[in-house]
Amino acid sequence: MNLLLLAVGLTLLASPQARHWGPQDPNFNETLVSGNWFSAALASNQPQLVKEARARRVFINHIQVTPRALRFHLFQKINGVCVPATMTANKTKRKFRYLLQYFGQNRVFLEKVDPKSYVIICTHHKARGRETVVVTLLSKCQGLARPPCPHRGQPPTPKGRV
């Protein structure tokens, strides 16, 4: 299932100008994406940006939906330490489209959603005439990926100590 969802994300990367329709259920309620999530996979048309030590490599662990925005609670590795952060993507007039300020302006799209198992988010960033696309697969199941920040920013407890 993880491979299939990542394939969908990679297909989105193949066409950065593709239309973003969002969830196809006309009755879909954005508040259903609220809750705890695990970053299962990342893909980009510029793979160097999502490598382990890069600043744009973030690990979303909770999404909070407000009337005007999506608030992402996440961890970011800085100098090998997981640091908690919050980013807010503001709603636009288009359904399932948000604007996020992070290294400039980003357009964030909710692509595919099954609130009980996964969310696919596509982010577009334009800078210096070049467009970067990052597709993020979030899962309700932690087992899909090794936790990037297992100690949530805290150093691991030495063996034998509690």
Query: What would the pLDDT profile of 91-140 be if each residue is shown by its tens digit?
Result: 999 888 999 998 888 999 998 889 899 999 999 998 888 888 989 999 98
- Let me know if residue 25 belongs to a domain: no
pLDDT, tens digit (0-9, with 9 covering 90-100), for 15-38: 444 567 677 677 788 899 999 998
Domain count, the chain: 1
- Let me know if residue 154 belongs to a domain: no
Quote the pLDDT of residue 154.
44
Distances (CA, A) of 22 to 3, 96, 125: 20, 6, 18
Classified as helix, coil or strand, 13 is helix
- Let me know if residue 162 belongs to a domain: no
- Let me know if residue 130 belongs to a domain: yes
- Let me know if residue 153 belongs to a domain: no
Domain that holds residue 104: 2-12+33-143
Instruction: Provide the percentage of residues in the chain whose pLDDT is more than 70.
Output: 69
- Let me know if residue 124 belongs to a domain: yes
CATH of the domain at 45: 2.40.128.20
Cα distance between residue 45 and residue 16, in whole Å: 9
- Let me know if residue 80 belongs to a domain: yes
In this structure, which amino acid lies at residue 102? Answer: Y
pTM, two decimals, is: 0.76
Closest CA to 136 of 124, 123, 148, 146: 123
- Let me know if residue 102 belongs to a domain: yes
